[in-house]
A = this chain, B = another copy of it.
């Protein structure tokens, strides 16, 4: 059995890195720094579909990505969430939010319009993230 990234996530996001448990994706929306962890476990839908060992690994990766958010983007708040009402494949949003962002304090889902990164900006952001992961 092999893991396949959901088609909607593949369309909306850019793959940044393969961590031990999860793929790290960047949502292609320059309005907020929006990162997503997708555990590479076929058919996982809820966090509780992972074993407790995998859940602890996921927590480690959530801690890493939260640190990277704070270090690189200095948000006012982090929103961490596993929703999955539209894309059932288990994925965890780790989104940097600002009191000045377009939809604060509302959640981004269903509210924040997509505004893709410009080409050079996207490459720069991905490099920045790849570099931060390996520190």
Measured CB to CB, the residues of A under 8 A from B are 45-48, 52, 55-56, 59, 62-63, 66-67, 77-86, 88, 97, 104-107, 109-111
Contacts and interface: CB of A to CB of B under 8 A. Distances in A.
B105 A107 contact: no
Contacts of A48: 62-63, 66-67, 78
A84 B80 CA distance: 10
13 contacts: A46-B78, A47-B66, A48-B63, A56-B59, A77-B84, A79-B83, A80-B82, A81-B82, A83-B107, A85-B97, A85-B105, A85-B107, A110-B111
Nearest to A47: B80
A84 B99 CA distance: 12
Given A46-B66, A66-B48, A80-B47, A86 B105 contact: yes
Given A47-B62, A107-B107, A83 B85 contact: no
Contact of A77 (B55, B66, B85, B109): B85
